[in-house]
Structure 1
């Protein structure tokens, strides 16, 4: 650790990631409808969503290695600058092609998560790394808690009407562009704060020339990937992300078909899910890790998701067995009783996902050397992005081609191999990554 005040630096990185994800979350309820407004089909709209993860897949390892060679701070500042440009383009897009270009640029800049993870690894000792990465996960959760709510606010009719009265006619104001501009302003504010208060965590003597570092780091990471421990962790990351993308991409379709929910109702549910993720990752992971260890938490989280992912589409059936509960809880007259069962399923599912993600991140961090943190996190981030690129397309095909329950059940089944992958790690490997 080279930062004079690690606690303050951790808070700054938490704020950067939170605001970055806040800007991203604002557009979650907007993107599909924005694509449809240009005449795109639902499939093309899904490709627009997937394009973010595709570019994140390509950019994450590059940004991670660049941060190893040039420092974490310049990479974080560069990515924030690119995100401001991307969200502005998204708001002024006059065609579907520009929309795709803006989304792809945003995805490339979203690869900075690997750099933020490496920053946490730089400033925290191994025994506290799970807590630090848990706080980073909490920033994710909080970003998704408040982001969609802000997106709905800026897309509302009164706010759009007020903006049209304020802005000149040259500014395209709509329920799609206004959230995009809001994301750009929030990210720009984040950039200014980071520029003035974010210290560098990697001293010059630990960096290398870009050409030399890139060659040696690729060799080191490929060697590490072929090892039994890290290979299983990266594969687990891929399967977790692939399985969970089925939920993320098809959840709104499910609630719309089963409950008739629109953006507002879904925003409430997603806000609740984000709050659970934030509480678990930011407050519970540390104490649970101290007691049970990262490996056991990763296995437990995967086991929970096996059951709960498959149970999500059947929540309306479960809800028929608790029809009187809805009358006892003041949750609104239009909320079907079955949604209580949905929340009962989504709560442990969110807990399981939080435990698995943070624990796998910590295990990956401990399996890599101090000078390989950026590259190692870039590798796992890329595995997750690749899964989220192809996962939604497959999930959509299962939803429309087989049945509404198919992508969720398939997602649960995909979690089962994780139990075997982690279980095959021998005691020596487990000891080396949890010591």
Structure 2
């Protein structure tokens, strides 16, 4: 099979199915360890839960920082050597990271495991680049929606399975996650073809393959890419509010138990599966990518306002329902931004977007946890526990305004002339 044949999705549907499976297993693997990470930190350090939670925050930040620094490098590598080796490397790295954490006898090794996971955590970004390689622009939003389906299922199944395995042994979910990644690696070795032909690759350039260089290159690609990258950053920054403080907020304001928090997150995952698996395809046909992106951002803004002001559980559940329509945002944005970038810069593009998302996972928890602490409890400046969601609503609303005023549907650009890489490739 030639590279040109591999680029046509109809010739090899197994490739797209594998990419969706990759995201599902990766998401499940990370979800597996969430319920037992506090117990493992306490076991390794001998500290109580209150102190272990601060260390857990440090582990999250170390992962995000490593991913922020490494994503542009791996994006550039995938533009030079292809998507397949980067995806296989990512799966091997994830397996190693989970094994390190599962066998860790010290806090230092736990941090090493998280850093390794962050460095090799290119599977999502490279998976998006792979889909852009093999999918015509008019079908990209639909196929990017399949990634959202996989993420939703992984978000539902991973923590539930992790809790069950963790009840047997705290380290067992880490070994199960490593096994899932190794299974993915073996499967990918046999069924995953390369999506980027040699003629469309470009030389690796350190000046472009670092966080600052990649962000400057996003800007150099043109106005639409810069605007869409800004929208991407604002949206990811906005949704970090729910990721950061949801358990604390719902327990403080509504008296929820951990079980009720878990059920609410399972509802979020189930709705994400429905929206990405059923509604995205129809929304693209009815609205087009630009209006669909605007609708997702508007729904996210309304949902965040609902979280901030809901006086009881019923309005809060209604806000969760509205927030599910925010699932329109990612596939529509990916479809638009990949259509603006040349074929031989898709890895760089996704590396830059992933770096921006990683940056929000560093800044978001700091901002939202501090704002929640300052506006709740006995020492609150003003009793306003929904303040973090008001901040996130303002970020989502800014992104919405950027889309409706600055983004237009445009044709897919021609690829940049391929560089002469014969001496590099041999």
Distance 1:391 1:374 in 2: 25
Residue 19 of structure 1 corresponds to which residue in structure 2? 25
SS in 1 for 2:196: coil
SS in 2 for 1:270: helix
1:361 aligned residue (334, 358, 366): 334
8 Å contact 1:2–1:203 — kept in the other structure?
no
Q: Check 1:259–1:420 CA distance in 2 against 1; reply closer, same or farther (3 A cut).
A: closer
Shift, 1:27, TM fit: 1.7
8 Å contact 1:31–1:49 — kept in the other structure?
no
Q: Check 1:8–1:378 CA distance in 2 against 1; reply closer, same or farther (3 A cut).
A: same
Segments of 5+ residues of structure 1 without an aligned counterpart are 161-173, 320-337
Distance 2:176 2:306 in 1: 36
The reply to whether residue 65 of structure 1 matches residue 76 of structure 2 is yes
8 Å contact 2:202–2:344 — kept in the other structure?
no
Matched residue count? 394
Residues 355-403 of structure 1: per-residue CA shift (max 9 Å, x gap): 1111111111111011111111111111111111110111111111223
Residue 415 of structure 1 corresponds to which residue in structure 2? 396
Q: Check 1:266–1:2 CA distance in 2 against 1; reply closer, same or farther (3 A cut).
A: farther
1:33-432 equivalence runs, <5 A? 33-37=39-43, 38=45, 39=47, 40-156=51-167, 160=168, 174-175=169-170, 177-211=171-205, 222-226=216-220, 227-315=222-310, 317=311, 319=312, 338=313, 340-352=314-326, 354-403=327-376, 404-425=385-406, 429-432=408-411
Shift, 1:245, TM fit: 0.6
8 Å contact 1:137–1:281 — kept in the other structure?
yes
8 Å contact 1:60–1:113 — kept in the other structure?
no
Shift, 1:182, TM fit: 1.3
8 Å contact 1:57–1:111 — kept in the other structure?
no
TM-score, normalization by structure 1: 0.84
Shift, 1:299, TM fit: 1.2
Calculate the aligned-residue CA RMSD, in Å: 2.5
SS in 2 for 1:430: coil
Q: Does 260-269 or 187-196 show the bigger shift?
A: 260-269
8 Å contact 1:60–1:112 — kept in the other structure?
no
Q: Does 91-100 or 32-41 show the bigger shift?
A: 32-41
TM-score, normalization by structure 2: 0.86
Distance 1:35 1:212 in 2: 37
8 Å contact 1:310–1:410 — kept in the other structure?
no
SS in 1 for 2:5: coil
Distance 2:288 2:37 in 1: 39
Shift, 1:257, TM fit: 2.5
Distance 2:322 2:270 in 1: 13
Q: Check 1:222–1:235 CA distance in 2 against 1; reply closer, same or farther (3 A cut).
A: same
Distance 1:256 1:8 in 2: 44
8 Å contact 1:364–1:377 — kept in the other structure?
no
Q: Check 1:350–1:35 CA distance in 2 against 1; reply closer, same or farther (3 A cut).
A: farther
SS in 2 for 1:424: helix
Residue 169 of structure 1 corresponds to which residue in structure 2? none
Residues 122-159 of structure 1: per-residue CA shift (max 9 Å, x gap): 11111111111111121111111111111111112xxx
SS in 1 for 2:14: helix
Distance 2:14 2:346 in 1: 21
Distance 2:366 2:205 in 1: 37
Shift, 1:260, TM fit: 4.2
The reply to whether residue 2 of structure 1 matches residue 13 of structure 2 is no
8 Å contact 1:114–1:377 — kept in the other structure?
yes
Shift, 1:416, TM fit: 1.6
Distance 1:220 1:114 in 2: 14
Distance 1:131 1:202 in 2: 21
8 Å contact 1:18–1:142 — kept in the other structure?
yes
Distance 1:371 1:208 in 2: 6
8 Å contact 1:36–1:42 — kept in the other structure?
no
